[in-house]
Every structure is written in C-alpha cells, then in structure tokens.
Amino acid sequence: MTLFQQIKDDWVNHGKDWTKPGFRALAYHRFGNWRMTVKPKVLRAPLSIIYRFLYRRARNLYGIELPYSAQIGAGVIIEHQHGIVVHGNAVIGSNCIIRQGVTIGNRYMEKPTEAPVIGNNVNIGAGAKLLGNINIGDNVNIGANAVVIHHVEKNNLYVGFPNKR
C-alpha cells in the first residue's frame, strides 16, 4: 500500500476521526517509514526533520512512543493515549488493538535489541507489559496489567503476573 492508502486505512479504523491521538501517531509512524524510501539522502533530510518533529509531538503531547523502525501491520488501532511505548525492533501484526499504558519492549539492559513479535488480531489490555524476545500468537487476548515474559500460544487469553492461561 502507498503512504496515503495506509493513512486512509488507519483513519477508517479509528472511526474516521483525524483528531484521535492514536490515528495521528500511526500516521506519523507511516510517514517516518515512507521518508526512508526517498532517495537521495539530500532530499530525505528535510523529511527527516519533519518526522522528528512529528515523532516528538506524538511522544510528548499524546504519550505515544512509536518509532518508525517498529514494524506495524495494517488495521492496528491505538485505542487510548498516554503511556504507550513500543520498542524500535518490535513487530506488531495486523488488526491489533493497543490500549493506554502498554509497553512493548526489551527485558534486559544487556540485550537492548530484543523485542516482542506480536501476531495478528491481538487485543492488548490497558497497562499490559510485553517484554523481551517473545512471540505472541494470533488471536490472543492479553488482560489489563498483565506482564508477559514468555511466548504465548495462539488463540489464548493471558492475564496476571506472571501471565497465566
């Protein structure tokens, strides 16, 4: 999909409300990815300045830290704002829902590049923490405030700390 098709898809998934912070953060993310396709670098430089401004706006104003290097699938919805942190190496599949206070990041300081890989149709509850080099299967529901540090099989519900089936 083109940049505009992706943004239109995100807009539709966010109820056709361009004022929603989740939609804006995803649009900034998509723009950040698109700008990396611009060649040569001299033409990309002004776009990078714009992206950095937009990224910081989403982070500081909306509390959504979503770097361009994270892989985000189509149909992802950021339901509520504030306290959302996504690792730059994270992979989030299509049609996932992310709520406020969610952290998708590394678990160990000595392994800074490890990040979760999340399947399709995953519903992540408010305050959930997904940490480390883990795989979350398709069609998984992760409860509010769950701390997930192990792989999660597809078609499951995980809640609590540590996570339980």
Cβ count within 10 A of residue 38: 14
How confident is the model at residue 165, as a pLDDT? 59
- pLDDT at res. 7: 97
Q: Whole-model pTM? A: 0.93
For the segment 45-89, what is each residue's pLDDT rounded down to a tens digit? Answer: 999 999 999 999 999 999 999 999 999 999 999 999 999 999 999
Ranges of the chain whose pLDDT falls below 50: none
* Domains parsed from the chain with CATH numbers: 3-158 (2.160.10.10)
Structural tokens at position 159: 């809640």
Sign of the alpha-carbon dihedral angle for 6, 16, 88, 138: negative
Q: Which residues are within 8 A (CB) of 19 and not within 5 positions of it... i.e. 6 or more apart?
A: none
